[in-house]
Chain A
């Protein structure tokens, strides 16, 4: 059971590594553009 518990958490860590990070930057830029307009 313990090995599956560690594997589950490792799976999430992999998810955080591969998850998109540009989206946040892009939406911030978009918000700034909107505010400037």
Chain B
């Protein structure tokens, strides 16, 4: 019998099923970031499509390295005062094939890589707000600082043993950690960078709606790993998360399309795609705590509330280019609060009931988590952008912007036709 450690064999309490599901889920979530690139890429003008896709692809590479070097230990390392993880797992020292403290039936490395994919996609979500005008160098520095100073601490607060987790905030797969932080930061970035040249005066229509619908469909596919994978076990809780995720996405797509049909006179294809994403966002924090009826109501709310939020930001002439705040910020906040409404121990005995099941305190806790993540993200993102602007300059020059970022930043063209 060979030595288990030397041969790489797992220790006896590792579940092959749980490990297989978690690794497959990590791969599903990985796919979401390039999918986001296509979702956003279709929405921009053709002169900016490569630059937009590059934002997502580059972040996949950048945060994959940042996470193993210091991101994981800041987010999930041993707690320091409820605020940040320690440096014990710097460069993944001590994170190996045996289970870690967060998941007893899977290798610690599997849990780490699953969480890595969340850290990757979160800053990628923000890129939709500053699309078509941000200098690539500024984007690189911003992403590295934002991941370290915003994502890692908030992930620790909620999932790494920090103060929000200790308070009892429920966030199954990232309503506060992923969507509120990215959505609010997107709004701040849009305000700090200012509007695109020609905003409100010339058409800025999506250059390829089919690319956007394909991207949304791949996001939906990957989201099963995002939410059902967050069960960490391959059991009933994962199945419930899978079902409510699909239901909320579908309901929100139907709702957004219907509302836009009534509002603007035609059933929008891009609206259906955006609605599906809004539903996926809203069910994310709730997916391990609510039943399928609640997921229908969450989807209904996401489709209508996020649609209304985007109409308001457009009326205020905020150039959140690809509606990141309306979908992720507002959708994430709705999902986090809806968790406080509809959570039930009948779905997850390790959680708490929400308001509908007689526990109004959970809604108050969810509200604290929402306000804390909004406030921290907004302040830190503003500070990061202002500091970067001093040294690098956030925006490209007007000539470069008119020429397009594909040519001015990357010296490449998306299409040779």
Contacts and interface: CB of A to CB of B under 8 A. Distances in A.
Interface of A: 1-2, 4-5, 8-9, 11-12, 15-16, 18-20, 23-24, 27
A20 B297 contact: no
A11 B205 CA distance: 31
A20 B266 CA distance: 7
Contacts of B282: none
Nearest to A23: B265
15 contacts: A1-B356, A2-B293, A4-B297, A5-B293, A5-B296, A8-B297, A12-B254, A15-B259, A16-B258, A18-B262, A19-B261, A19-B267, A20-B265, A24-B266, A27-B266
B356 A19 contact: no
Contacts, number: 42
A12 B255 contact: yes
A15 B261 contact: yes
User: Size class of B's contact patch?
Assistant: 10 to 19
Nearest to B301: A8
Contacts of B294: 1
Contacts of B83: none
Contacts of B255: 12
Nearest to A27: B266
B345 to A, nearest CB: 15
Closest 9 CB pairs of A and B: A1-B293, A23-B265, A5-B293, A5-B296, A15-B258, A19-B261, A8-B300, A20-B265, A2-B293
Contacts of B297: 1, 4-5, 8
Contacts of A20: 261, 265-266
Contacts of A18: 262
Interface in B267-306: 267, 291-294, 296-297, 300
Interface in B248-263: 251, 254-255, 258-259, 261-262
Contacts of A4: 293, 296-297
